[in-house]
Amino acid sequence: MAQVEKLSSSKCFEGYVCRYSHVSSSLGNLEAKFSVYWPPTTKVATEKQPILYWLSGLTCTDENMMMKAGAQRICSELGLILVCPDTSPRGSGIPGEDDAYDFGTGAGFYVNATTPGYSQYYRMFDYVTKELPQVMENNFGVKSSKKSIFGHSMGGHGALICSLKLPGEYCSVSAFAPISNPVQCDWGKKAFGGYLGAENKESWRDYDATELVKKGCRFPKEILIDQGTEDNFYKQKQLLPENFQQACQSTGQPVELRYQEGYDHSYYFIATFIEDHIRFHAKALLS
């Protein structure tokens, strides 16, 4: 496995925010960047600690969470490692990949693409669930078996499907304003059509949290979701958390969907409730 290169390091709440680059086999051997917050008690490469994975939303990179959410204060206090991958491969050269904010670059949707061109590069599901944990274990000696996952919007969708498709892999899962039923919304239809094929709608269900729950996938603990009531994308029916909640209720999957009055889709919403979510994950990771 190719070694990771450290691009930058900034001390933050006694720990360090570090940005790394590596050649990713899941992403067609393109260069991939990711960011890690190392809490102060982490002894890199000697002590093994649990990891919290954060998946960002459309147009984001590995840096948004670190810069905007204020998560480091709490991860520092609790001694949690926070890992933030990018939201897509970059620079594949596929024609049109940079043309839209909601497809291609910055919009990988955490699936393994099967369509011509994309299937070679856009394998974010494998990247997030297999390659990146392996990179963390091989390069930094942290235990890959103890991990949790959360995310925002497209990344909330990502967190939900990763945890539902791989039971036993994650200790806990939560999401902010997740795209909860992508086969039913415009964002999801466009992305899944492009990455999985317009004709292969049956395969779309394998990357849809609501459909996965309906099919019988289960996460063994309660899933936590926060949704702002003034979120324009929620109002436009791009997120559909109510569909996910309904599927959970009718199949016995525990979920807590909290509607947060007046909050929108921005990182100001995430920053407000990030402490809640991290402490929720800490309970599962540190117990």
Length of the chain: 287
Tokens of 89: 């491969």
Number of other residues whose CB lies within 10 A of the CB of residue 67: 11
What residues contact 239, with CB distance under 8 A and at least 6 apart? 153, 177, 178, 179, 180, 185, 227, 231, 233
Cβ atoms of 227 and 258 within 8 Å: the answer is yes
Quick check: is 231 catalytic?
Answer: yes
Binding to its own copies by residue 7, rule CB under 8 A? no
What 8-state DSSP symbol labels residue 206? G
Binding to its own copies by residue 13, rule CB under 8 A? yes
Question: Strand pairing of 255-260 and 223-228?
Answer: parallel
Quick check: is 62 catalytic?
Answer: no
Quick check: is 153 catalytic?
Answer: yes
From the list 3, 10, 41, 251, which residue makes contact with its own copies (rule: CB under 8 A)?
Answer: 10
Q: How far is the CB of 276 from its own copies (least distance, A)?
A: 12
By CB under 8 A, what part of segment 247-266 binds its own copies? 262-264, 266
By CB under 8 A, what part of segment 58-77 binds its own copies? 66-68, 70, 72-73
Binding to its own copies by residue 14, rule CB under 8 A? yes
Number of other residues whose CB lies within 10 A of the CB of residue 248: 24
Set 153, 172, 174, 180: catalytic member: 153
Residues classed as catalytic: 153, 231, 265
Interface residues toward its own copies, by CB under 8 A: 10-14, 17, 66-68, 70, 72-73, 228, 230, 262-264, 266-269, 271-272
